[in-house]
Amino acid sequence: MELSFGTTSHGAGRRMSRTRARGLIGGGELRRRLESDGIVVRCPSNKGPPIAYKDVERVVDVVEAAGLARRVARLRPLGVVKG
């Protein structure tokens, strides 16, 4: 409580800009990868690759090691909807 005033991160945060991420992988390729993992994608375009974001497992490990929070569940995405 003293270290963080009772708060912790609410997401992993970005490791690069969305523009840079789009230059690394095309939207169509990203869509194919998500769908091959069983994730349903419903989106009118192929913009905005989520590879711009940090690895959430590493972020959770750091938060847990710092004693700010403890993991209670692991969620797996079922779908992506953009529109």
Annotated catalytic residues are 10
Q: Round to whole Å and give the CA distance between 64 and 39.
A: 28
Q: Kindly state the helix (H) or strand (E) to which residue 41 belongs, with its residue range.
A: strand 40-42
Q: Round to whole Å and give the CA distance between 33 and 14.
A: 20
